[in-house]
Structures are given as structure tokens and as C-alpha cells.
A and B are shown apart, each in its own frame.
Chain A
Amino acid sequence: MSDLRTELKQSIIVQLNLEELTIEDIDNNDSLFGDGLGLDSIDALELIVLLEKDYGIKLTDPNQGKEIFISINKMAEYIESHRTK
């Protein structure tokens, strides 16, 4: 289970070009947007692409993202119950 979280952190760092961050810098409960990692609206769209590419999850409603991309823990929970690959 924690493997998925580590994997997620790694791919978020790569996919969103968070060059100056390492896996250790991101806490499972850190908020991804706002005061936490400070991600923005393009990052949110990029996370939707990541879900589709890596886990075969298609989000069609951009508002869905708001409930999923809260923290690494929330994302991992969603992926565990919805992944198709």
C-alpha cells in the first residue's frame, strides 16, 4: 500500500516537473494544492492525464478531480478502488 504512495509521489515529481522536491519532502497528508505543494489548475489537468496513463482511470468531469487530488493518501485510496491497470 505504501508502495503505491511512493510511486505516486515519484510520478507526480516527474510528471509535474517538481525538480526541487524529493519523495521525502511530500507527506501523505500534505494538501497538493494551495499551501501544500502549491499545484495549480494545469497541474490538476496533468494529474487527470496521469490517472489515465498509469492506472487506466478516466475522469470526464473536471470537478471530480477536486475530491481526489486532496492529498497523496486520498489519491491512493481512489486509485486502489478504481484502477483498471
Chain B
Amino acid sequence: MDIARKHFITNSIRIKNGKIFLNKETILSLDPKIDFSQFLKDAYKQLALKYPKYHKMDSLCKLGVLGSTILLRDQDFTENTALVFSNASSSHDIDIKHKQSMESIVSPAVFVYTLPNIVLGEISIKHKLQSENVFFIEDQFNADLLVDYSETLLKSGKASSVVCGWIELKNDQYDVLLCLVSNNGEIPFTREKLEELYRFDNE
């Protein structure tokens, strides 16, 4: 779509293997061998999130709130910022936890997270976003879908900016790329650029 030229990837965040990159620069590097819940705790502390609700969330939401908070720090955005997220495993890890709890007493605080779009709700609450939301399931990262759909929202005026990306979590293995897309920036919002950010590996 030629219209894609008008929007830019203003900011991007990548979370993988114990590392967090903001616009390809390492902002946190922890031992990849520490267990996932410890990673989420340490990242929260070191990046000074100061949001006690974080601790109540399931891991998928923690990843999303962590990523979006760093992504949106010091950025101009309005409540009309849409969230266009995707992954392969939906809410797999918390689904397993709920399934196990069905043997004894089911926890409402676990069950409530057994939908992939809850992370969109948590991010909306944290950053006061009251715009369009969608959660797509894909077997692998699909830049085409993210670009095409985000463009329909921006082009039709349904949103003024978009946070789009991939937030995969399965058996504590995580892989996150979130991008803020708006009228500001230098990187054109195209499939190629999004792919490049996803493939980017700084190791």
C-alpha cells in the first residue's frame, strides 16, 4: 500500500533471551539462564516501572505492560492509540495453570487471564488508551497482517497512532516485538522494516 509511506515506526521494543532492546539498543541485559518469573521481576525493578498492579498479572500481561511502558515513555500519544497484537500460543501458559487448578479449587485471578486480549486491557488501563483493540493469532510472526490492519485503522481515522506487534509466550519461552506507529519518525512503516526489526539480533 502506498499509503504506508506516510506512517513511521516511531519507536520499537524487543524482548528476548533475557534482553530488552529499545530501538535496537540494549537497555537491559540479564542472564538468559535466570528463570522467567525472576526475569520479569528484575526487569520491573531495574526499569523502575513503579506499578504495583504489575505483580498481580499473568506473565503475558507482564511482558506487555513492561514492553509498552518502555515503548511509550516520553512519547507523544493520545487515548486514541490502537493496539494491534498477535501471537501463536494465545494465553497458553495461564491456560495450563487454570487447567491444573481445575483438579482442586479454581482461582478467579488465574481464570481472568485466560484470554489473549487481556494484555490489551492491562496496557489500555496503564496508559489510558480508549481506542481500537484486536488480538490476532498466527502460527508465526506476520508483518503483513500487522502493517495492513494498522494501516486500515490509521487511514480510516479510527486511530491516530498504533502500537502493534508480536507477544509470544509458551512454556516460559518469550519473544516480543512492539512498535509505536505514528506520523513521527524516520523508519517507514512497511513490512520489510517490521520484519527487519523482528529478525534483528544483537548478540
Indicate yes or no for A touching B, C-beta below 8 A: yes
Main secondary structure of the interface of A (DSSP, over half): helix
Say yes or no for B193: interface residue by CB 8 A criterion. Answer: no
Chain A residues near B106 (CB, 8 Å)?
49
Q: In the complex the two chains form, is B109's CB within 8 Å of A43's CB?
A: yes
Alpha-carbon distance A17/B110, docked complex (angstroms): 12
A6 CA to B108 CA, complexed, in Å: 24
Count contacts on B: residues with CB < 8 A to the other chain: 9
User: Which residues 10-62 of A sit at the B interface, judged by CB distance below 8 A?
Assistant: 16-20, 42-43, 45-46, 49, 52-53
The residue in chain A whose Cβ has the minimal distance to the Cβ of B57 is A17
Interface SS, B side = helix
Contact B55 A49 (CB under 8 A): no
Assess whether B52 is in contact with A53, with CB atoms less than 8 Å apart. Answer: no
- Residues on A lying within 8 angstroms of B by beta carbon are 16-20, 42-43, 45-46, 49, 52-53
* Contact residues of B between 53 and 92, Cβ < 8 Å to A: 55-56
B107 on interface, CB distance cutoff 8 Å: yes
Cα of A13 to Cα of B163 in the assembled complex, Å: 33
> Beyond A46-B107, A49-B107, A53-B105, is A20–B55 a contact (Cβ under 8 Å)?
yes
Taking A45-B109, A49-B106 as known contacts, 8 extra A-B pairs with beta carbons closer than 8 A to each other, sorted by chain A number, are A16-B56, A18-B52, A19-B52, A20-B55, A43-B109, A45-B108, A49-B105, A53-B105
